[in-house]
């Protein structure tokens, strides 16, 4: 049961952890939550940094991914490589609806007509279901990726999903990410070498052109920049929200 005292403790750690290295943040999370914490990854460059770091801190860490069943072959190939290199089993979480069931119920190409609903069905609901099993989750978001992420703490209370959220490389730059990958010989998605700095589903990701924002290839043509996993919803000021 989450108490006010526990949330206060997380709030204090939020400040203290600002000066911690990513490895220190990971070690704290593994010590504090044991098997009740897991890394969430879509295996972008940042995610690969985190997986490699975690392996050096605690070899039997938990790793899960939301498999929308619309990922690139290159992403599935990378997942196989991760399981072999780090000797772990990726926990794959799927939508309650297969792609065929989604088309039958909601019509063809839902992502083109209502991307938010498609993301809710294939990403947000599966994530919510997975997080309900955990006390904490670890992500590889960085503050300078999107406006929604700029206030991310390294350790924070996730009001949206009701557990602790740990973001060990929140203050890293893209340059640091790539330096780490090269320095440690970490594998990464081959699409990154084909002008895909950010990789999601095949239907909603394209290569970027010179000068474009690194996330311009996600949901091209739409104002959408996030699938909803890291978007903070407004918190009700009612007393119930304080519990
Ligand atoms: S990224 Fe596109 S295809 Fe993937 S779940 Fe969201 S809307 Fe659907």
Mean pLDDT of the chain: 91
pLDDT recorded at residue 190 = 97
Instruction: Decide if pLDDT at 2 tops 50.
Output: yes
- Cα 219 to ligand 1 centroid, rounded to whole Å: 8
Task: Specify the residue for token string 């780490």.
Answer: 180
Residues 142-166 have a mean pLDDT of 92
The CATH number given to 4-234 is 3.40.50.620
CA 141: distance to chain centroid?
6
Bridge-based pairing state of the strands 136-138 and 163-166: parallel
Q: In this predicted model, what pLDDT tens digit does every residue of 179-217 receive, in sequence order?
A: 999 999 999 999 999 999 999 999 999 999 999 988 888
**Confidence grade of residue 240 (pLDDT, cut at 50, 70, 90):** very low
Lowest mean pLDDT among 1-5, 30-34, 170-174: 1-5
Annotated catalytic, 227?
yes
Query: Residue 231: pLDDT band by 50, 70, 90 thresholds?
Result: low
Is residue 41 over pLDDT 60? yes
The residue whose C-alpha atom lies closest to atom 5 belonging to ligand 1 is 119
Which protein residue's CA is at the shortest distance from atom 6 of ligand 1?
Answer: 119
Distance 82 CA to ligand 1 centre (A): 23
- Residues having CB closer than 6 A to ligand 1 are 68, 70, 111, 115, 118-119, 122-123, 200-201, 203-204, 227
Contact (CB, 8 A) for 106 and 113: no
Confidence of residue 63 (pLDDT cuts 50, 70, 90): very high
- Cα of 127 vs centre of ligand 1, distance in Å, is 14
**Is the distance from CB of 163 to CB of 134 less than 8 angstroms?**
yes
Q: pLDDT band at 224, cuts 50/70/90?
A: low
Q: Tokens 């929140």 — which residue?
A: 170
Ligand 1 pocket test: which of 95, 115, 219, 228 has the largest number of ligand atoms within 8 Å of its C-beta?
115
**Nearest ligand 1 atom, CA 122:** 5
Distance 52 CA to ligand 1 centre (A): 27
Q: Give just the sign of the alpha carbon dihedral 157, 136, 93, 207.
A: positive
pLDDT of residue 243: 29
- Which residue minimizes the CA distance to atom 4 of ligand 1? 201
User: CB within 8 A of 46, min separation 6: which ones?
Assistant: 140, 141, 142, 169, 172, 177
Neighbours of 187 (CB within 10 A): 16
Within 10 A of 147 (CB to CB), how many other CB atoms are there? 10
User: Which is the catalytic residue, given 118, 201, 204, 227?
Assistant: 227
What gap in Å lies between CA 17 and CA 38, rounded to an integer?
Answer: 19
pLDDT at 235 over 60: no
Q: What's the whole-number mean pLDDT along residues 29-44?
A: 97
Give the residue, 232 or 113, on which the prediction is more confident: 113
């Amino acid at each position: 049961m989450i108490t006010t005292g526990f949330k206060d403790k997380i709030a204090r750690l939020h400040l203290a952890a600002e000066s911690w290295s990513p490895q220190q943040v990971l070690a704290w999370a593994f010590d504090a939550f044991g098997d009740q914490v897991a890394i969430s990854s879509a295996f972008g460059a940042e995610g690969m940094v985190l997986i490699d770091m975690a392996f050096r801190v605690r070899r039997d860490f938990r790793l899960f991914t939301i498999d929308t069943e619309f990922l690139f072959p290159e992403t599935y190939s990378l997942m196989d490589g991760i399981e072999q290199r780090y000797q772990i089993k990726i926990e794959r979480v799927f939508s309650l609806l297969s792609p065929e069931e989604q088309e039958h119920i909601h019509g063809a190409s839902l992502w083109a007509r209502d991307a938010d609903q498609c993301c809710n069905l294939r990403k947000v609901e599966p994530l919510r279901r997975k997080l309900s099993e955990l006390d904490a989750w670890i992500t590889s978001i960085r503050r300078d990726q999107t406006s929604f992420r700029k206030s991310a703490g390294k350790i924070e209370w996730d009001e949206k999903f009701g557990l602790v959220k740990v973001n060990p490389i929140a203050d890293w730059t893209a340059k640091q990410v790539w330096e780490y990958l090269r320095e440690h010989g970490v594998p990464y998605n081959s699409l990154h070498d084909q002008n895909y700095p950010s990789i999601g589903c095949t239907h909603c990701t394209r290569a970027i052109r010179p000068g474009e924002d690194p996330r311009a290839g996600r949901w091209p043509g739409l104002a959408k920049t996030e699938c909803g996993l890291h978007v903070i919803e407004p918190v009700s000021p009612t007393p119930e929200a304080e519990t």
